[in-house]
Structure 1
Amino acid sequence: MLGLLLLNANQVVATSRIIDALWGDDVPATSRKMVQNAASSLRQMIAEHGGPRTSAELLTRSPGYVLRVPRDAVDLHAFQRLNRQGRTQLVTGAWESAADSLRAALALWRGPVLSDLAETGISWPELSSLESARRAAVEDLYEAELCLGRHHDLVSDLESLVEAEPDRERLCGQLMLALYRCGRQREALMVYRRTREVLRTEFGLEPGRDLRDLEHKILNHHPSLELARPAPTAPGPEVEPEPKPATVGRHATAPVDAGTSAPAAGSPIRTTAEPHRTERKWISVLMVRARLTAADDDPEQVEQALEAMTTAVTEEGERFGGVLQGRMGAQWWLLFGAPHTRENDPERATRAALALQERFRPDPASADDADRPPSMSLQVAVATGEVMVTYGTSGGTRPVDVIGGVLDTCQRLLDQVPAGGMKVCDHTSRLTRDAFEYAGTEVPLAARPSTLNPELPDLFPPGSFVGREAELQTLQGLLRSIRSQNQPHLVTLLGEPGIGKSRLSHELARYDARAADPARWLVGRVSPFGSETPLGALSDMLRGFLGITDAHPVAVTERLLGDAVERLTASERERAVMLHRLRPLLGLTAGPVPAGCGQDPVTECFAVWCKFLEEIAAQQPLVAVLEDLHLADDLLLDFVGYLTDHVGGVPILVIATARPELMRTRPHWGGGKRNATTITLAPLSRAESGLLLSELTEHYRQRERLPAPPPGACSVDPDGFGAALIRQIGGNPLFAGEFVRMYHDCRLRGEPGVPAGPEHGRPPLPQSVYTVIAARLDRLAPEEKEVLHNAAVFGNKVWVEAVAALLENTSLDVATTLGRLERLELLRRVRDGSAPGREAYLFRHELVREVAYSQLPRAVRAAKHLRAAAWLESLPSHRADLLALHRERAADASATGPGDKAGLPTLHVQRKQRSGRASPLALPA
């Protein structure tokens, strides 16, 4: 118990957590009394043996105990402080100081944590977490040493570590770099091949991008692998472990010196100076301010409280994909969307804010406890907007500078929030209305329950199903086949975001509902935020089968699960094992291990879940839908593969919807498996897109009871606005729906609608569409994104020589990178008629080019357009209109003012737009 409390020193540890840690599943009836006796004994020992330096005290705090102890009295805290300090110094390029700090941190280790307890078989999560932190500190130390040119001294140590752990890619990369710098290129390449073989043989994986790039650079003797020392700096004070921004408001700076050329802490190969990278991004900012509510103002207690708050903000931010950008006093701010845009950044930021509020909600039971440390109430604000983000290196991932008015907006909101309250900006509110219950327009109360009804008639109007008849017939045939043959089948629906995967499965549900013997439908969704319950998608299915939600009491959930298992299994032994393995899916305690449980829990869990679904299908044909399988972890992916191979002769159709990223993690998904089909959904044709737009427009008009459009509004010139809109949506049904919804939302609020005439150019781009595309681009490797940005400067059609002329990074292989972008379905290669045998590339989607172009700062765009004009002039013959266009756009980008003047897509994000008359959506007949 003392060991557990020390691992969580100065934090409340619940009694239930102590009981679980001490006894696991074999809990004695008197466990709580035994914990109380142990606490009493600890208090007595502390009183007898505690000295001035270890002035600890064990306090009772609901719902358990807290061991208060000076932070410098626990070497774990000293390690964490030195480790944070070393990592910060590593990022800022202070390599000598980083090596000293990390070496001092690792010197505190004298063997495994709590080794005497570990010998008894205890394996707490905290122990494995600390071991992972130690390994990361070792890798950080070696990186600092490599930056200092000590590769000769490191080789033997690195070889021993890699021999023990050949699957740790960062260590292998560091050994490869050290061997290469020692002139042992052949051995460096052999390390790569051994690592690749281990990863492929044991895990079925290829090495990560960093390791592959390092091998390529070694083969080509790339100059970036040579040692580059930073300029010497004067010694300064010890680096603070917590980041401090330069200012609060429009400009927030991370704790990275913009003048350094340090490697990123997570990369073993970026050791030379690289240029800064700046881009325009839409992000969400979460600001948190803590207000101490206790009268006691002891500075040590205040420091402990703020350190606990920093830990909580970091944990909740990382849980939902945010980055802690800075702290000043008792205020913190996190970024969601930098460095990587996600389609739901506003929702992620709001969920993190609600989680922090719940975590620090005052406990009424301890309100009268005079000895308790200072408690806190939080003020929380979330704002969404466009910023300029600067990274320390061209391939860096941590922002060193963030500038934008959204920081001011969030700060003003925070100043208006009462203690314990929360507010979000107008953009965030409008983008998250479907995810949260709101009080008014600015105060989110709680997350809405997710809807897993497979029909969802309001979301998908029946008349708007266009262009997927062949795919629907294939699914209908498979549904009939599992019934007639009593065999399981796995069908994977692959496609880009919004292409219609979920809609297709919903249409199959509508078709099945009309059958004489409809199947039972169970739907599970892989959460983008992770899940506290193992295998959340299977948990959704189980809850759907039982008819329960999170609001049901535990006793009701227990009873319904027990009744279901009793109906499905006749054997008492099977019933006990099934209950033991299914209970964790509902967040229930697994309970004592029954006598029939096997030794391999994963294999037994697979068998139990498979048996459960098999027994359901034996009573009624079953369709199991797994949404967003590309987000699943290996355990769920393994189970889906296991299911169709091991289930008995019963009718089960497993439908998995996924994006193409699934094929990156599982390149052979479904290949060679019996009873498996993969359907890749292509974009709709222009005619189908026009029909879909018309159907959606009419549906919205009737639903909102809007007047019919004036005569002739749906028969415009094919080269007019309607045709431009069809080109923009690129055959994506989600984009079509968002454009139509944006237009009708404008009309309902009495705002100017979408312009109808071709003189207005393109319609404004809905924020949701922009975010989907930006998230896709942010998943590219840095060199791929750089090439795509330069290609966007030239317009829809581009050549290898043209992109190479714009690149500042002359080491990039442009032809190879354009080929990768083609395989990622962002570009399409075509023959160029201007020269025999010459090839050009077209953007597959017009909006991809627009978003890529919009991410370049205006000054960068102006310079690239001038460079493009110079390249055109250097050709033996060139088109004067293209030359004039680049010069005009360079002038526009150089001028101050709205970004859309320089070719940026105008985003529809504000309530007030430019003045103009609302006009009906004009579409081709």
Structure 2
Amino acid sequence: MPPFPIRNPAPTNPAPAAEPDNAPLLLSVLGPLSARHDGRDLPLGPPRRRALLALLLIRPGRVVPTELLIEELWGEEPPRQAVATLQSHVSHLRRALQPASGPDRPSMLRHRAPGYVLELPPEQIDGCRFERLVAEGRRLLERRDPLAARDRLGAALALWRGSPYAEFDGHPPLCDESSRLEHVRLAAVEASAEARLALGAAQEVAADLDREARRHPARERLVGHLMTALSRLGRQAEALEAYERTRVHLDEEFGVGTAAELRRVRTAILRQEPGTCGPTAGSHTARPEPAGPALGAPVIGVAKADDGERTRRAEARPPVRAAQEPARPAAAEASGGAGTAGAEPGGPFTAARCHEARRHGAGSVEGGATGSAAAGGAGAPRVTAGPGHTCRPVTTAEDSPSSMADSPEGARPARDAEAPKNGTIRETLRPGAQSPFTGRSEELQRLTAAAASALAGHGHVAGVLGPAGVGKTRLLLELVPRLEAACAGQDDAGRKCAGLEVIWSHCFLSEGVPPYWLWTQILRRLSTTRPDAFRDAVKPFGTLLAPLMPEHAAGPGRPAPEPDWGQARFLTHDAVCEVLLALATQHPLVLLMEDLHWADTASLDLLRLLSTRSQGHPLGIVLTAREHEVGSDATLRRILAEVLRGPRTETLRLGGLSRHAVAAIVAAQAGPGVDAKVVEVLHRRSEGNPYFVMQLLSLLADARSLRRPDAVGVLLTRIPTGAREALRQRFAALPETVLRVLRLCAVIGTEVDTDLLDCTATEDEPVAEALESAIRAGLLGEDPHRPEGLHFAHALVQETLIDELSREDRQRLHARVAEGLCARRPRLVEDEEIERVAHHAWQAKGALPIAETLPLLLRAAEQAEQQLAYEQVETWLRRAVHLVGLLPPDDPSTASLDRRLHIQLGQVLATTRGYGHSEAETALARGRALSEVTHSPEDPSVLWALCASHLVTGRYDDSRPFSGLLRDLAERSGQPVAVLGAAYAEGIVLHVRGQLPQALTELEHGVAMADGYAREGHSLARTFQHDPRVSCRSYDTFTHWLMGDRKTATTRRRELLGLTEYDSRPSDRSFALYVDAVVAAWEGDVRTAHSSGAEGARLADEHGLLYWKAMLATLEGWGLTHSGRVDDGLTLMNSSLAELRNSRTHLRRPLHLGLLGQAQHRAGRTEDAKTTFHALLAAVAQRGEHVYLHPELPATRLLHDLLGRGAAEAAAAG
């Protein structure tokens, strides 16, 4: 039984029958795996054999390579005779299924090179029927036919008997397929609920969805339908409880809030709107779509029975022979080449596509080939694979070490990706998710022109060169439909082309691959697709083809081969050329030959001869190879140079995709709206290599994660498993001496400083030879603008090298680099080197004395502060504090240094996060406490910072002891910070209490003293945390304005903006813009309030000033709301006020609440405004901030209108 049965009313429009007509066999996967024929169960044997059947079932009609089946059945521990054992299981399954095939018909489980295929109609698999019914139901729902949609979806859900493939939890492909089908089921449950809600069946929906929603709280669409049903039944409290469960779950599990659609449902329930409706079919974000009517790939050119029009068009076209296109998804056939049936772009793929992508690294099975191939037309060119060829998906990692038949188990990419929790899915991203063909239009055009010349009888050779994963195979796969289109047209003389045939073959890096395997694949395929013509073509050559096709070896009555092997080999090559040219003369041929960097010398010699002989014949050759491996093999380099230098040749060198192309891939995965920083990081870390782009995307569990604030951090700090394994294999091919130098380069940085490398390397590390080898291997690149400049091919190479090091080795290398940097400037490390040396010294902290590392960290912090890089200052100070904690505690110098560092750290945190931040206050308090240990005098900057911390957190009375200490210190020593801190602090307290004349006296005194100190040359910004001229003028401006002296207030505003216009600290400029925006808002100047708020928020964000960013964004939001952008403005104001509250910032909170209430009232949200004004009154009463009920404030007048004067007077009295 399904875990949560969904009741389905009796359909009024009968859905398709549960079992297909004339289907002698029914295979069930939606529950325990079973096979039924003639009303009885067929014995499927032990678990391993059942798993084999299941692995074939998830790819019906698709050839599954023997190697892949062995790997998926036994993992890393296959039996000694794995192939024989597999064949035994296949034989038993054939016998078990034979009754369904019939005595005179071949078995549906067939051997087809390079593996096995299960050939049966998809309708005989309940999982395929289930997905077809779901797709039909969803389409009917989108067409606004809820009655028919309910019937189709009900029929689909009735097929569900339990979790599919549950018994095979030790086989990852089947686990993946089980998870995918479960998500399709949930999508069907959601769509069924929507249909039944439209038909008024709220009671049924509420009963069915309650347990589903509790089990899957992140399915927001499902939860929305449950809330709607409960609301319509008058159970609003339960509906809101369901919303709260989902909100808490999303926050705890993913760190995100609920989607806007679900929030709208909640709002409608709260407002008791009639007919509260849930999310519609087109409104939800995550749509796990079904995979179309079939999971297998039909043979191209074989028209379907229900496609008569397509058949008639095919019969009118030139004859071609049917063959298998690499990894052609049936869903694309069924939908006219537009992807899976009923699915949006980027939706989940079939099980075969999912696991194929997981095995081969990145890319997708493309569901949208152009031209008539996508429509299944019979005029398509034959696309064939050689006997040893695994039919390839359209992949962006076609030639990475993790691709094709020799791909390692370790190259599977998504094992370290964050899995969706609780069975939920949110636009799941996989390395194999459908990606667009982008950034290669020019190359595709050139390649098409070259390959299509075979149609005109002109032999042409094209070479596609580039690094692993750059998209060479993807380019060839895009080429095939272009060739089809050319074949469908006419030649220059107006003649129809005579059926172009495209044949794939490629080389393998594996033991036991015989010579000529590249060509054996081609000849065997031709012997299959053109048996009569092939037999006639090879007849004159006797046994000359035996080295490629052993079946042509000498036998009784056949002459023995020539004793001279050199001559015999040439004659063999000549015979192959003659056979291919003869066959090409009958029907044009295009040979797609991949991975020639793994080709044997004999195959390359044959290629050289054919490329010469093909001139003037309708035979085209397109080859691919990794450019760096071509460059490192003299023989391969020489032969390819000869092959590709003739008059009818074309060489394409593929580099990384542009940033725009990477953005297109991201948009295909996650839709529009992903932050440009995410795209920039993806492009920079991958250098545009499509395979690495997809691997990096695999780190994020779902598309919504790309929009999370930490997406950039995830992409920057983690290495995808597939990319790591691909790079490990490339490293393994290098000598250990080269690897040692490369590891040292990685520790030095992305840009390799060759001078530093020379002075850091040891005698047994041959730098020059190692760099040359790394460049040839494509791991390092040369900088064309700097002759000595080298850099890693992309960041993942450097990071993987570092990640492979043990902690001790990494620290040791960092220590060598730090010492090397200091050694080449023995007297003093120059300013531009300070941060670099400090970085390496910190990373080497276990290998360098703390006494040597600490001064470097402190100098780096000082330099960062001069550059206004506050986040860097915080980083260096925290590291220094950590190291000080490792020093002997009884050393007096340790306590002194600890005191100094905590004071500096507290001041930096106060600047960036606000004085209300608890960690800032804690650090400052510890610094002050250590003053007693070190017998240091009171530091006025620390007293002022602690006083400010109390002011910002609304502890006004508690701040006065600190301001009193400052005043005493000012009277005794006259220190500027003490004088200014005492006046400014007291002025603020008097201001918020509403004692404006007394406040003005203190603040005017502060302004005068600050100006005087500035004229005397005192620089107090660092110890006072702001330019005191700015700080004192801020509240002075507010006080003048509230007292009615608008002229002086305007003068102070101009002074603030003038003081900070040039060469000021970002925090000072932010403060000045904040004052300007507040006064502008009080005066109703919307444009100034918005522009100053936006400018200040942007400036604060650039410099990591979180406190000021939230303050200024509040004013920016006020300006947006009053400019007509109500939703944007109110959202910004609410989020900013929440950030201030979370940082314990209560200073000026009633002022900000007054602005929010104004904005809400302006937007017509009167009840929200009343709620906000009640919160304002509570804040005033709690902290005695009476100034924010001043009659001059616009918010006060609006508060009186909405709540009455009595409420304000009560708060003031309280």
TM-score bracket for the superposition, by shorter chain length:
0.3 to 0.5
Alignment TM-score, normalising by the size of structure 1: 0.38
Between Structure 1 and Structure 2, the one with more strand by share is 1
Larger radius of gyration: 2
Alignment TM-score, normalising by the size of structure 2: 0.30
Between Structure 1 and Structure 2, the one with more helix by share is 2
Relative contact order: is structure 1 or structure 2 higher (C-alpha 8 Å, sep ≥ 6)?
Answer: 1
